[in-house]
DNA sequence: CTGAAAGCGCTAACAA
DNA sequence: TTGTTAGCGCTTTCAG
């Protein structure tokens, strides 16, 4: 029952009658070395069930083969698609991926990043809460890519909700709504800013007054206050910062016996898990989250000088579209 | 703009005028060494912003400081609580945690585990799809803890749904239901087996006939077939393998214009995100998922011989309870 | 193309 | 208690 010593590169080398360095090359330098010996070595490695020790590889090569994905809250379904996408892509690139929950705290986010920078080749920040300053400084220590956050000089992927917001306003206007209010998320949220700007622009285009209520916290529980505020505003329709908040709002509306969409139309953002089966099913902005995840890893690979990466674009903008369900109707 | 060489243990040692090994001890062996020098060294390390290179630590100590959590599908909200719990606990224990998606494939699960075993101190398998044989063999190569899966000899945490199932049946019986059907998940699922057994037992206790329909796949999309099968069975109530399936079923029922709970009462399992805001809100079995995650890490720490771990229990059984919402009513 | 040798940063015997 | 000395398993010069 003694654990047998794991097989090392030396075992393979001995068995093949070559030097360890030759094995190293045969295994991890595609084009080089004699093809015949390389195949022989690979066969032996497979036969011996050799698995390279990644710590040792990292220590001597400087590349850890690991990236991190930082999210503000693992249990926020908004990240589902992004997580999927990054995992797909990093698996395809042979990278390990660590998922880190920053608990919505910029301090924790920074600490984690600093503490782990030595064991990571790079990191993807999905909805970073860090200040622009902090981000730029950290980017000097470890390759960074952001998602839904645009910082000068940092490669980023943004799901372009402004585009979708315009569609949403169009949709509401065509249903006869003239009084549309934006339900704001946290002031510090980059996405919230972007969405509010888009809202204003779209409203102006249609000659509507632009108003907002809030700011409200991201969570479902803020929906209560949000619903009351919207009702109070007298608007006939609202566009909500995100689906979590929108679903909370719907719940409160049901409690108060307010008909949706009869008395109030509601549009969410993100099309998260649940948006299609809440009551009523939510009209919302859908975006290619998985694709965003994949794109982020691609950009990171680019930053790492990986040849497998596509041409390094600095910023990727992904389109959103409106998914109409049952929470919107005639004014 | 050249990256400054990261500070190593030698830099700290030089600055403190001691040997590297002394620094190593001062930093990672709590009780030993002269407290005065230890504090001095720690101060210098902090001042120099020294971060130990975990690869090097791993290489020379054999401990990687990393564990993995394997789930069949990251985007299944059932894992929310578990992920939270394990992350909390591993962070508290100073361990890094990798989240791995096995895509519901036993082969992939095994491969990942084998491939990563050298870079992990241990792994937690949430709903493993591996055979008992495979699990036992793998456990010989890397410390393993299972969640919701009981395998002889492996430490495990199980959320005891049988207990909750009994409550559910009790609830339905007291509402006057005499014809209750179990909507089965995949035959190979350990939880499904456990729930079906519990169902039979509870039904027998009340002198009811026990029937089931299915098996159905885990996903929401299987809800359509499941709903039709339940309706066909003529039962007035059903207990569904999991909430995902139950929500799918609810959707189909609404499509077919079947009143819930008027014509059919529905009970789910797991109380996932969404169970409270679907339509109608789902009566379901709630369990302490976060606690399960924490317990799993504790057990693993025990297996690793970590002194911080509580007394090593081999199996942890966590209770569930019925959360009554609006999908159940009088027969 | 391949081998020899040095060393990545750290920990763990062993000596002092 | 502290310093000295070997490696951990791999990659990477540099020779051959």
**Does the pLDDT of residue B231 top 60, yes or no?**
yes
Q: Give the residue among B116, B125, B127, B119 at the shortest CA–CA distance from B144.
A: B125
**Does the pLDDT of residue A137 top 60, yes or no?**
yes
Residue A20 CA distance to nucleotide C4 C1' (Å): 10
Q: Which residue is nearest to nucleotide C8 (CA to C1')?
A: A60
What pLDDT sits at residue B294?
97
The answer to whether strand D lies under 7 Å from the CB of residue A59 is yes
pLDDT classification of A59: cutoffs 50, 70, 90: very high
**Inter-chain contact B59–A74, Cβ cutoff 8 Å?**
no
How many residues are there in chain A? Answer: 331
Residue B93 CA distance to nucleotide C5 C1' (Å): 40
**Inter-chain contact B55–A119, Cβ cutoff 8 Å?**
yes
Which chain A residues are within 8 Å of B108, Cβ to Cβ? none
The answer to whether strand C lies under 7 Å from the CB of residue A33 is yes
Kind and range of the H or E element at A227?
A: helix A223-233
Residue B167 CA distance to nucleotide D13 C1' (Å): 70
Q: Count other C-beta atoms under 10 Å from residue A250's C-beta.
A: 27
The answer to whether strand D lies under 7 Å from the CB of residue B10 is no
Residue B251 CA distance to nucleotide D8 C1' (Å): 57
Contact at 8 Å (CB) between A320 and A175? no
Contacts of A222 (CB under 8 A, 6+ apart): A216, A245, A248
**Does the pLDDT of residue A11 top 70, yes or no?**
yes
CA dist., res. B130 & res. B85, Å (int):
23
CA dist., res. A103 & res. B88, Å (int):
11
Residue A21 CA distance to nucleotide D11 C1' (Å): 8
Condensed to tens digits (0 to 9), the pLDDT of residues A277-299 reads 999 999 999 999 999 999 999 99
CA dist., res. B248 & res. B243, Å (int):
8
**Does the pLDDT of residue B214 top 50, yes or no?**
yes
Q: What is the mean pLDDT of residues B276-294?
A: 96
The answer to whether strand C lies under 7 Å from the CB of residue B52 is yes
**Does the pLDDT of residue B2 top 60, yes or no?**
no
Which chain A residues are within 8 Å of B115, Cβ to Cβ? 51
Nucleotide with the nearest C1' to A22 CA: C2
Q: What is the CATH number of domain B161-287?
A: 3.40.50.2300
Condensed to tens digits (0 to 9), the pLDDT of residues B245-276 reads 999 999 999 999 999 999 999 999 999 999 99
Contact at 8 Å (CB) between B324 and B171? yes
- Please name the residue of chain A whose CA is at the shortest distance from the CA of residue B254: A277
pLDDT, chain A, mean: 91
Q: Count other C-beta atoms under 10 Å from residue B187's C-beta.
A: 10
**Does the pLDDT of residue B331 top 90, yes or no?**
no
**Inter-chain contact A277–B251, Cβ cutoff 8 Å?**
yes
**Does the pLDDT of residue B3 top 70, yes or no?**
no
Kind and range of the H or E element at B98?
A: strand B96-101
CA dist., res. B317 & res. B321, Å (int):
13
**Does the pLDDT of residue B305 top 80, yes or no?**
no
Phi, psi of B122 (to 5 degrees): 180, 175
Which chain A residues are within 8 Å of B52, Cβ to Cβ? 118
Strand locations in B6-93 (E): 66-71
Quick one: DSSP state of residue A215?
Answer: -
Residue A130 CA distance to nucleotide D11 C1' (Å): 36
Pick the CATH number of B66-159+289-317 from 3.40.50.620, 3.40.50.2300, 3.30.930.10, 2.40.128.720: 3.40.50.2300
Condensed to tens digits (0 to 9), the pLDDT of residues B79-104 reads 999 999 999 999 999 899 999 999 99
Q: In sequence order, which ranges of B156-269 are alpha helices (DSSP H)? A: 161-174, 190-205, 223-233, 243-255
**Inter-chain contact B77–A116, Cβ cutoff 8 Å?**
no
Which chain A residues are within 8 Å of B101, Cβ to Cβ? 84, 87
Tokens of B92: 């508290």
Give which of A55, A96, A251 to mutate to test B binding, by max B Cβ within 10 Å.
Answer: A55
- Please name the residue of chain B whose CA is at the shortest distance from the CA of residue A4: B141
Q: In sequence order, which ranges of A93-128 are alpha helices (DSSP H)? A: 106-116
**Does the pLDDT of residue A125 top 70, yes or no?**
yes
pLDDT classification of A2: cutoffs 50, 70, 90: very low
Quick one: DSSP state of residue B77?
Answer: G
Instruction: Kindly report each contact of residues B25-31 with a partner whose C-beta sits within 8 Å and lies 24 or more positions away, as own/partner.
Output: B27/B52, B28/B52
Task: Give the A:B interface size as CB pairs under 8 Å.
Answer: 104
Chain B interface residues (partner A, CB cutoff 8 A): 3, 6, 51-56, 58-59, 64, 74-75, 77, 80-81, 83-84, 87, 96-99, 101, 114-119, 140-141, 247, 250-251, 273-274, 277-279
Give CA separation, A51 vs A1, A56, A57, B14, B31, in Å.
21, 12, 11, 37, 36
Contacts of B325 (CB under 8 A, 6+ apart): B275, B276, B280, B281, B282, B283, B284
Quick one: DSSP state of residue A123?
Answer: E
Indicate if the alpha-carbon torsion angle B197, B202, B205, B206 is positive or negative.
negative
CA dist., res. B159 & res. B319, Å (int):
6
Listed in order, the ranges of chain B carrying CATH 3.40.50.2300 are 66-159+289-317, 161-287
pLDDT classification of A210: cutoffs 50, 70, 90: confident
Contacts of A116 (CB under 8 A, 6+ apart): A68, A98, A100, A123, B96
Q: What is the mean pLDDT of residues A107-130?
A: 92
What pLDDT sits at residue B303?
83
- Please name the residue of chain A whose CA is at the shortest distance from the CA of residue B52: A118
pLDDT, chain B, mean: 91
**Inter-chain contact A277–B274, Cβ cutoff 8 Å?**
yes
Share of chain A above pLDDT 90, in %: 79
Contacts of A119 (CB under 8 A, 6+ apart): A58, A64, A66, B53, B54, B55, B96
B160 compared with A227, residue with greater pLDDT: A227
Give which of A50, A59, A126, A137 to mutate to test B binding, by max B Cβ within 10 Å.
Answer: A59
- Identify the residues numbered 15 to 34 in chain B whose C-beta atom is closer than 7 Å to any atom of strand C: 20-21, 24, 27-28
Condensed to tens digits (0 to 9), the pLDDT of residues A148-191 reads 999 988 999 999 888 899 999 999 999 999 999 999 999 999 99
């Amino acid at each position: 029952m003694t654990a047998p010593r794991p097989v090392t590169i030396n075992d393979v080398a001995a068995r093949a009658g070559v030097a360890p360095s030759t094995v190293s090359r045969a295994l991890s330098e595609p084009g080089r070395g004699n093809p015949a010996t390389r195949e022989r070595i690979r066969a032996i490695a497979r036969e011996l069930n050799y698995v390279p020790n990644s710590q040792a590889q990292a220590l001597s090569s400087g590349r850890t083969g690991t990236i991190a994905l930082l999210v503000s809250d693992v249990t926020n379904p908004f990240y589902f698609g992004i997580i999927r996408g990054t995992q797909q892509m990093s698996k395809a690139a042979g990278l390990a991926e660590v998922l880190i929950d920053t608990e919505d705290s910029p301090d924790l986010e920074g600490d984690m990043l600093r503490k782990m920078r030595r064991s990571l080749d790079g990191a993807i920040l999905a909805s970073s809460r860090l200040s622009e300053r902090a981000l730029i400084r950290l980017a000097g220590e470890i390759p960074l890519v952001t998602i839904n956050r645009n910082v000068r000089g940092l490669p980023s992927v943004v799901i372009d909700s402004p585009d979708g917001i315009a569609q949403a306003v169009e949709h509401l206007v065509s249903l006869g709504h003239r009084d549309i209010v934006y339900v704001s998320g946290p002031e510090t949220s980059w996405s919230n800013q972007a969405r509010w700007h888009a809202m204003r622009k779209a409203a102006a285009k249609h000659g509507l007054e632009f108003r907002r209520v809030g700011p409200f916290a991201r969570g479902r529980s803020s929906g209560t206050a949000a619903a009351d505020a919207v009702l109070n505003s007298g608007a006939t329709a609202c566009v909500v910062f995100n689906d979590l908040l929108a679903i909370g709002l719907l719940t409160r509306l049901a409690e108060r016996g307010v008909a949706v969409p009869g008395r109030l139309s509601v549009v969410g953002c993100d099309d998260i898990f649940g948006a299609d089966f809440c009551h009523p099913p939510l009209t919302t902005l859908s975006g290619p989250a998985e694709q965003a995840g994949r794109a982020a890893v691609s950009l990171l690979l680019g930053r790492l000088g990986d040849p497998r990466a596509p041409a390094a674009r600095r910023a990727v903008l992904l389109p959103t579209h409106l998914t109409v369900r049952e929470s919107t109707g005639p004014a």
